[in-house]
Amino acid sequence: MESGEQIPELRVTPDKYLPHRYAGASGDFNPIHIDPEFAKAVGLPGNILHGLYVMGLVARANAGLAGGDPRALKRLSVQFRGMGMPEQEIVVTGTVKSSDGDRVVIDTVAEQSGNQVIRNAEAEVQLTE
Amino acid sequence: MAVNTEAVGKEWPAATYQASRAKIAEYANVIGAENPVHFEKDAALAAGFREVVAPPMFCVVYSAPAMGPAILDPEVGMNFAAMVHGSQEFEWGEPVCSGDEITTTPRCLEIYEKDGKGFYVFESISVNQDGEQVVRGTWTNIVRGV
């Protein structure tokens, strides 16, 4: 892949109960993610997605460059910014920043309704030949 | 008011997590990772793995038992009501397969103040039963109004 090339876009709409399933899978039962009333009581618009779930989608989009091979993703760093909400589409995009043979570095973001949930993210992927 | 940096350099006890096919499949399903190597032993073996293999971000599952006590430690003293998970980095080594015993050791890397916010940075090193490093994590929590 060449600098400036786009990775295939990943679009996912987490359903209403996705945060509950993610809580079970990950063990993170913080009520801001699974209890809309609690979330509103602490000033949030509703229960919000786990940031690490959205990071999981960013990892998936970038590992997708190597057919989803779990060995391909070597490094991923992200900044969590806006809040992600259930029942709204998440779009993960990425642009190749540099490449060294089969090793590429990708600038990647996850946004929802034009709001960046994950920004300044960088993925390092080992492409298969 | 300055942040308390006494916990910088502190290490917490290692915690060991045994990866299982069921938890790997549950995690892969929830993030939508569809590669059969996460679900079927034959597919994993054919792709050169020892057993069903976890998606890279499964590291949050096996690191959690070690990270909890570090983040909740009163000596670190984060105000959870004003805390957000600011940034996260993982650097992967050996893949993690079902049956692996992953041992994670957390350490407080740095605590500093910037623009009225406290930055609390933790590192985790996870190794498998053969002593091979599977992931290094850098976890940054930001606390407003310190």
The domain that holds B97 is classified in CATH as: 3.10.129.10
Residues of chain A short of pLDDT 50, as ranges, are: none
Q: Which residues have C-beta within 8 Å of that of residue A70, sequence separation ≥ 6? A: A63, B35, B37, B38, B53, B54, B55, B56, B95
Instruction: Tell me if A2 is assigned to some domain.
Output: no
User: Which residues in A have their CB inside 8 Å of a CB on B?
Assistant: 12, 18, 21-22, 24-28, 42, 51-53, 55-57, 59-60, 63, 67-71, 73-80
Instruction: Tell me if B112 is assigned to some domain.
Output: yes
Query: Domain holding A46: CATH number?
Result: 3.10.129.10
Instruction: Tell me if B63 is assigned to some domain.
Output: yes
- Give the distance from residue B90's alpha carbon to the nearest chain A alpha carbon, in angstroms: 5
DSSP string, B66-134: HHHHHHH-TTT---GGGEEEEEEEEEE-S--BTT-EEEEEEEEEEEEEETTEEEEEEEEEEE-TTS-EE
Selected residue of A78, A90, A122 to mutate for chain B interface (largest B Cβ count, 10 A): A78
Complex prediction ipTM? 0.95
At residue A6, the pLDDT reads 96
Instruction: Tell me if B7 is assigned to some domain.
Output: no
Contact with chain A for residue B138, Cβ under 8 A: yes
Say if residue B1's pLDDT is above 60: no
Contact with chain A for residue B4, Cβ under 8 A: no
Residue A39's SS3 state is helix
pTM of the predicted model as reported, rounded to 2 decimal places: 0.96
In which band, very low, low, confident or very high, does the pLDDT at B31 lie, cut at 50, 70 and 90?
Answer: very high
CA B97 to chain centre: 16
Per the structure, the count of domains in chain B is 1
Selected residue of A62, A79, A103 to mutate for chain B interface (largest B Cβ count, 10 A): A79
Contact A51 B32 (CB under 8 A): no
Question: B11: which DSSP letter?
Answer: B
At residue A1, the pLDDT reads 86
Whether the Cβ atoms of residue A7 and residue A96 lie closer than 8 Å to each other: yes
Instruction: Tell me if B47 is assigned to some domain.
Output: no
Contact B53 A70 (CB under 8 A): yes
Q: For B56-71, write each residue's pLDDT tens digit.
A: 999 999 999 999 999 9
Instruction: Tell me if A1 is assigned to some domain.
Output: no
In which band, very low, low, confident or very high, does the pLDDT at B134 lie, cut at 50, 70 and 90?
Answer: very high
Instruction: Tell me if B37 is assigned to some domain.
Output: no
Whether the Cβ atoms of residue B79 and residue B5 lie closer than 8 Å to each other: no
Instruction: Tell me if A3 is assigned to some domain.
Output: no
Residues B78, B66: Cα–Cα separation, whole Å: 17
Q: For A46-83, write each residue's pLDDT tens digit.
A: 999 999 999 999 999 999 999 999 999 999 999 998 89
Say if residue B94's pLDDT is above 80: yes
Q: What's the whole-number average pLDDT of chain B?
A: 96
Instruction: Tell me if A53 is assigned to some domain.
Output: yes
Range of the domain at B116: 55-144
Instruction: Tell me if A88 is assigned to some domain.
Output: yes
Looking at chain A, which residue has its C-alpha nearest residue B89?
A77
List B residues 64-83 in contact with A (Cβ-Cβ < 8 A). 64, 81
At residue A7, the pLDDT reads 96
Instruction: Tell me if A108 is assigned to some domain.
Output: yes
In which band, very low, low, confident or very high, does the pLDDT at B2 lie, cut at 50, 70 and 90?
Answer: confident
Instruction: Tell me if B14 is assigned to some domain.
Output: no
Hey, how many other C-beta atoms are within 10 angstroms of the C-beta on A32?
A: 19
Per the structure, the count of domains in chain A is 1
Looking at chain A, which residue has its C-alpha nearest residue B33?
A60
Tokens of A116: 């960046």
At residue B61, the pLDDT reads 98
Instruction: Tell me if A4 is assigned to some domain.
Output: no
Range of the domain at A30: 10-126
Contact A69 B47 (CB under 8 A): yes
Residues A13, A112: Cα–Cα separation, whole Å: 9
